[in-house]
Amino acid sequence: MSVFINKQVFLVSDGTAELESLRNKLKTLGVNVIDSSCLGFKEKNKGKPIDLIIFDHTHDGRICPEIKKLLDGSNLASLVPVFTLVNNTTEEIQSALSEGAADYITVGESTNSVLQKIEAIFSEDSVFFGSSSIDITSSAVEVTTKGIKVFVVEDDPLLRNLLSLRFDKSLFPYEFSNDGKDIVPVIKQFKPNIIILDIMLPGRTGFEVLEEIKSSDELRKIPVIIFSNRDGAEDRKKAKELGANEFFVKAMTDLSELIGVIEKLVNK
């Protein structure tokens, strides 16, 4: 049975057209979508189980007080994730995540990409972690090998910023892509020593990209690290079967530790 069937999603918006296509698609997949405004959320929320809240952060640039109270009152974001619609700027994304959102939807993002994110949190075998949980501590890591070339396929601009800071400190040349579509020729041109790959990507899934990498004579020996928001047994199993060397959950990974693992895999 589809993971979408009978799920309850609160769509908190003041009529933003950006969310209309997503709303209609969720309904066709069997999701019970409850439309609400910020002012009406408290009343409509009474007595109803919630599997996901989707909130329009573009309206006034902040999460509305009623949802913020839920997030502040308990660790509800880990149980009932809040996705926020944001303009695709680092400042707005950081603002939404810092207020407690589990993940975000950018203006103009494809419906299929958003559905991948939602499907991940609805999967029974998967524990989902938002970008706001990523460990950004500044602890140092001793790196003896300089110049390790790292290619990262990751669509989260906040995480790309954090990784770029780490790579700069470690003197690792790097290149980013935020889309899985047509990415393998770009990787070949960059000639990396290691690849870091998210699972949920626009264009193609990380697993599809991984399968193509491992089917290439030119790339198959390059170590691949899966770096994901979700932690499920099936994902780990599939990553291993397709040839990934390591599987890291973003919320459980100190980025300094990741740098050490990169060096270890490249020098193995």
Closest CA to 115 of 30, 231, 190: 30
Quick count: other Cβ atoms within 10 Å of Cβ 221? 9
Residue at 145 is within a domain: no
What residues does 152 pair with on adjacent strands? 176, 196
Is 136 domain-assigned?
no
Are 159 and 70 members of one domain? no
Q: Is residue 85 part of a domain?
A: yes
Per-residue pLDDT at 168 exceeds 70:
yes
Reply yes or no on whether the pLDDT at 167 is more than 70: yes
Instruction: Report the alpha-carbon distance of residue 158 to residue 97 in Å, rounded.
Output: 9
**Gap between the Cα atoms of 10 and 33, Å rounded:** 6
Closest CA to 118 of 184, 42, 194, 200: 200
Please indicate whether residue 44 or residue 34 has the higher confidence score (pLDDT): 34
Residue 143 lies inside a defined structural domain of this protein: no
For residues 81 and 174, state if they share a domain. no
Domain count along the chain: 2
Burial of 148 (0-12, 13-18, 19+ CB in 10 A): buried
Q: 161 with 252, same domain? A: yes
Q: Which of 122, 141, 168 is the last residue of a domain?
A: 122
Q: Distance between CA 160 and CA 165 in Å, rounded?
A: 9
Residue-level pLDDT at 222: 97
Q: Which residues contact 27 (CB under 8 A, 6 or more apart)?
A: 33
Mean pLDDT of 69-90: 64
What pLDDT does residue 79 have? 53
**pLDDT the model gives residue 153:** 94
pLDDT for the residue 242: 96
Interval 7-32: pLDDT, tens = 988 888 766 677 888 889 999 999 99
Q: How far apart are CA 101 and CA 83, in angstroms?
A: 6
118/155 same-domain check:
no
| Residue 138 belongs to some domain of the structure | no
Evaluate whether residue 190 is within a structural domain: yes
**Residue ending a domain, choose from 106, 122, 138:** 122
Which segment of 187-196, 206-215, 256-265 scores lowest on mean pLDDT?
Answer: 256-265
Please tell me the predicted confidence (pLDDT) of residue 68: 62
The single-letter DSSP state of residue 71 is H
User: Domain range for residue 201?
Assistant: 150-266
User: pTM for the whole thing?
Assistant: 0.61
67 and 160 co-located in one domain: no
- How many angstroms separate the CA atoms of 247 and 29, rounded? 30
Give the residue-averaged pLDDT of 145-172: 85
Residue 254's Cβ-count burial label (10 Å; 0-12, 13-18, 19+) is middle
pLDDT, position 38: 73
Same domain, 223 and 162: yes
Contact of 201 with 226, CB cutoff 8 Å: no
pLDDT in tens, 202-256: 778 899 999 999 999 999 999 999 988 777 788 899 999 999 999 998 777 777 7
Widest distance between CA atoms in the chain: 59
Q: How confident is the model at residue 65 (pLDDT cuts 50, 70, 90)?
A: low
Residues 233 and 158 occupy one common structural domain: yes
Q: What percent of the chain has pLDDT over 90?
A: 28
If you average pLDDT over every residue of the chain, what do you get?
A: 79
User: Cα-flanking dihedrals φ and ψ of residue 204, to 5°?
Assistant: -150, 155
Residue 139's pLDDT band, with cuts at 50, 70 and 90, is very low
More confident site: 3 or 63 = 3
pLDDT of residue 78: 42
**Burial of 189: CB neighbours in 10 Å, binned 0-12, 13-18, 19+:** exposed
* Residue pair 192/225 in contact by the 8 Å Cβ criterion: no
Helix, strand, coil percentages (3-state) for the chain, rounded to 5, are 40, 20, 40
| Dihedral, 190, 195, 196, 202 alpha carbons, nearest 10 | 60
**Res 266: pLDDT:** 94
Q: What are phi and psi of 121, to 5 degrees?
A: -80, -20
Query: Is 184 found in the same domain as 113?
Result: no
Distance of CA 64 to the CA centre of its chain: 23
pLDDT at residue 133 in the model:
46
CA distance 264 to 193: 12
**Is 142 within the bounds of a domain?**
no
- Both 114 and 158 in one domain: the answer is no
Structure tokens at 200: 């949920």
Domain with residue 161: its CATH number is 3.40.50.2300
Residue 127, in any domain of the structure: no
Residues 108 and 174 in one domain: no
